[in-house]
Amino acid sequence: MAVEVLTTADGRAKSALSRAHAATWRAARAAGTPLPVGTATPPLHPARPTTPRLLPPRDVPRRRPGSPQGRIALLHAVAHIELNAVDLHWDIIARFGHVPMPLGFYDDWVKCADEESNHFNLICDCLEAQGSHYGALDAHAGMWRAAEDTAEDLFGRLAVVPMVLEARGLDVTPGMIEIFRKAGDPQTLAALSVIYAEEVAHVAYGSKWFNWLCGRDGLDPKDQFHALVRRYFHGSLKPPFNEEKRAEAGLPPDFYWPLTEADAP
């Protein structure tokens, strides 16, 4: 099921299949007959629609959010992040099926994938309400790099994807919400509020399973986290941090502050 989502190219079709598979998983769990997890061979790169064109990050033009065009560009970038997030959550399920994990691990990532699919749809709806659509602008090609870099390392995947990249989302979303509040755009405001509320749990699941794996292996989670982020994440973490939401998600300050530029070795 995860590989089916990963190999579906169209964004709306991918999110629809993702939501349908999540519902099937949940229904089987609720009936007390969980689906077998099994193993799979996910593609190294998920299937993607022919547009947007994917460019190196430095070639994607930056636009100021003060104009309607700038806000469309911002929403387009968010849609691209959400589509990647759908694939990232199914990828962790498919890629690490050989690692024995409690069923709750799959419950959590299936739920995240389902929510990312809804986020993608919500943001696409906002773009379409403004006369644009996902694929109308160029997007970053680098978004899948974290998945490739950590394809062999579940600890690294958890450290970099939910605990660094999704945690970064918690830092920047309040600023985006402010932009659309000022612009008087209630539809986008509502979509971003859903995203902001649900992303806290995605980071929390990352932290939960990272700590669980460290506990299983008798490793110090903080030391492991620092070593893995330095190994797999390109660049330093950027303050200001959303300390409150990070705390809610189980990310203590001594995990992320030592990885900022000022603290880098």
Assess 202 for contact with Fe ion (CB under 5 A). Answer: yes
Q: By C-alpha distance, which of 133, 132, 126 is closest to 176?
A: 126
For Fe ion, what does the binding mask look like between residues 59 and 88, x meaning CB under 5 A? -----------------------x--x---
Q: Give residue 197's identity as a one-letter amino acid code.
A: A
Candidates 94-102, 116-124, 182-190, 210-218 — which segment interacts with Fe ion by CB under 5 A?
A: 116-124
Assess 48 for contact with Fe ion (CB under 5 A). Answer: no
DSSP, res 240: P
Task: Give the HSE-up count for residue 178: Cα atoms under 13 Å, Cβ half-sphere.
Answer: 5
Q: Decide whether 72 or 167 has the Cβ nearer to Fe ion.
A: 167
Supply the angle between the helices 167-182 and 68-95 in degrees, to the nearest 10. 160
With H, G, I as helix, E, B as strand and everything else as coil, classify residue 235.
coil
Candidates 17-25, 55-63, 124-132, 159-167 — which segment interacts with Fe ion by CB under 5 A?
A: 159-167
Q: What are the residues facing 139 on neighbouring strands?
A: 54
Q: To the nearest whole angstrom, how small is the minimum distance from the Cβ of residue 80 to Fe ion? A: 11
User: What tokens appear for 98 in the block?
Assistant: 């050989």
Q: Which of 48, 111, 119, 245 binds Fe ion (CB under 5 A)?
A: 119
Assess 108 for contact with Fe ion (CB under 5 A). Answer: no
DSSP, res 165: I
Q: Which of 91, 114, 116, 185 binds Fe ion (CB under 5 A)?
A: 116
Q: To the nearest whole angstrom, how small is the minimum distance from the Cβ of residue 218 to Fe ion? A: 29
- Cβ atoms within 10 Å of 126's Cβ, excluding its own: 23
Q: Decide whether 65 or 206 has the Cβ nearer to Fe ion.
A: 206
